[in-house]
Amino acid sequence: MRLLYLTYLIALVLTVSSCSYKQNQLLFHNPATTADSLQQATVITPYRIQPQDILQVRNLQSLKYIVDDVPPSTSTGSSSSNTIASQGQTYQVEEDGTVTLPALGHIQVAGLTRPQATKLIEDLYHKILLKDPIIELKVVNLKVTLLGEVKAPGNFPLTKDNTTLVEIIGQAGGLTPQANEKNVKIIRGKNKSQVTMINLGDLSAVTDPRTILQNGDVIYVAQNNRAIRNDNLQSFNTWVQPALLLLNTALIIFTLSRQ
């Protein structure tokens, strides 16, 4: 009988220990004592337009010379045309670094930052066509990939300059209870050889310039130790529990046969 009770005790311990644990994350709790030194040590380099980039261009004053006029035929067609006009037209940067714009032709934009390209296009339209153009230019193909312990991993567009890690994690719904907030990696570079470790438990992470994301970055949020132990225990239980069940059944049969 003692052996039977011991088997029951082992099964109970394994069942209880495999239960989920409560989230114990603490974000941004340390004072930002290193923010100034991080700001000085890191130089933020703005993105420069490259061949194959997709530019969205529109004139905030008049869309006539940026978006092709589409004559409204039906209510559906008119709605579609208005949507295109409100968003602006897109143009691809060619391999030679030029983009072809209505009334301007080929414009060299590769190597320019977004504000520089915007100013160049505004000046050219002002010289030959428009009185006071206000050009809005976006590079719409820029994105980062977010993996690991976030609620909605995937690809996220960089819709504005200087998008931060905290903003992207917020777009993904935040961290999961299994996340290790002290172990967040930003993997960067053509060969993904540059790895930056970020501790979101430190308040300085909010202003850390290293968290400003660049096109092609891969962000990985690791599991915390408790989640890893829990996964290992779950794997252990998948083969231990059937063995215990078999042993328990054998002990019950043995005990009954002795009575």
- Token pair, residue 116, equals 């520089």
User: pLDDT 10s digit of each residue in the chain, 259 long?
Assistant: 555 555 555 555 445 444 444 445 666 666 544 444 444 456 678 899 999 999 999 888 876 666 544 444 444 444 444 444 456 789 999 999 999 999 899 999 999 999 999 999 999 999 988 888 899 999 999 999 999 999 999 999 998 889 999 999 999 999 999 999 999 999 998 888 899 999 998 888 888 999 999 999 999 999 887 755 555 556 555 666 676 676 677 667 767 676 6
Side chain identity, residue 59: N
69 vs 66: CA distance, rounded Å: 9
Report the distance separating Cα 165 and Cα 170, nearest Å: 9
Architecture of domain 54-139: 2-Layer Sandwich (3.30)
> In CATH terms, are 35-42+148-223 and 54-139 the same topology?
no
Query: What's the burial of 218, exposed, middle or buried (CB within 10 Å: 0-12/13-18/19+)?
Result: middle
3-state secondary structure of 179: strand
Domain limits of the chain? Answer: 2-21+226-258, 35-42+148-223, 54-139
Strands in 54-59's sheet, in edge-to-edge order, are 89-92, 54-59, 135-139
**Domain 35-42+148-223 superfamily per CATH:** Outer membrane lipoprotein wza domain like (3.10.560.10)
End-to-end CA distance of the chain: 12
Query: pTM here?
Result: 0.68
Residue 220's CB is within 10 A of a number of other CB atoms, namely: 17
